[in-house]
Structure 1
């Protein structure tokens, strides 16, 4: 029996939430596209973490109000310890980061997490924001599909 186990880490789903603020007639922000973070095949024998990236593209028009982008904690309930559900009760730890160095966990800006923004949007220009993901190495988990859903909230 081979000691190498292959595990499939599934992409997370992102749902955009936008709303209009009272008094800002004509202010519009749209989520133009999202690309989920898909880690591909995770090997329990890998010595290095498995990194991946996704993105969000948005466009705002008719406003000067800064925007922020926050992520929920996902199914773990803790943004500092996110995990994907797998076969049975097994969980695969991962996290999402604001920065390419993967030091600032993406949350809502509280409890040790960071966030995107506040940023004054560019009028009528698509802005792409990267999402950085990482699965720590050395997790002994069974073969199977692992997934989590994280809700993205855009506030303006």
Structure 2
């Protein structure tokens, strides 16, 4: 019986040591530098009379050099754009707006933002020693049934990558 208690205590101590060595959330690099890039998210031509939403996706790439922590996590946060509203972003042309949003999942059920007010952030593992890379997808959707004039609608959002 005594051996079982000692083993359980040893496992608890080992588990505590392992957890203490893991990097904190959104902390992937120790003494390293990272570069990031994002591809443009282009919806193409939007059809106002279509009953289907218009979907698109883009990629955020993170490449790090230095001492990269094992089991490290990078976090992507997305700004509001011209609408100043994470829950309903708007692309604009002159004074006309076309609603859209950005999502963390392919099902487009988790609105990508800063993690507050009903939004989530996107995270990915960044594992390796000396170098590591990861790609985080961003999914976009323009809801169907918006009656807007023809032209080019644009928005700019700020993407923040924490590592």
TM range (shorter): 0.7 to 0.9
Partners of 1:120 and 1:127 in 2: how far apart? 7
Aligned residue in 2 for 1:59: 63
Aligned residue in 2 for 1:30: 35
Kindly report structure 1 stretches of 4+ aligned residues shifted beyond 3 Å: none
Alignment counterpart, residue 98 of structure 2, candidates 92, 101, 104: 92
Residue 57 of structure 1: CA displacement? Answer: 1.2
Once the two structures are superposed, the pairs formed by residues 1-156 of structure 1 within 5 Å of their partners are 24=30, 26-31=31-36, 33-61=37-65, 62-64=67-69, 66-86=73-93, 88-117=94-123, 119-123=124-128, 124-156=131-163
- CA deviation profile, 1:54-79 (whole Å, cap 9, x unmatched): 10111223133532110001010001
Partners of 1:116 and 1:44 in 2: how far apart? 30
Residue 128 of structure 1: CA displacement? Answer: 1.3
TM-score by length of 2: 0.74
> 5+ unaligned residues in a row in structure 1: which ranges?
1-20
| RMSD, aligned CA | 1.8
- CA deviation profile, 1:106-137 (whole Å, cap 9, x unmatched): 001111001012x4412223211111000000
Q: How many residue pairs end up in the alignment?
A: 131
Alpha-carbon contact 1:35-1:55 (below 8 Å) kept = yes
Alpha-carbon contact 1:73-1:107 (below 8 Å) kept = yes
Larger radius of gyration: 2
> 5+ unaligned residues in a row in structure 2: which ranges?
1-26
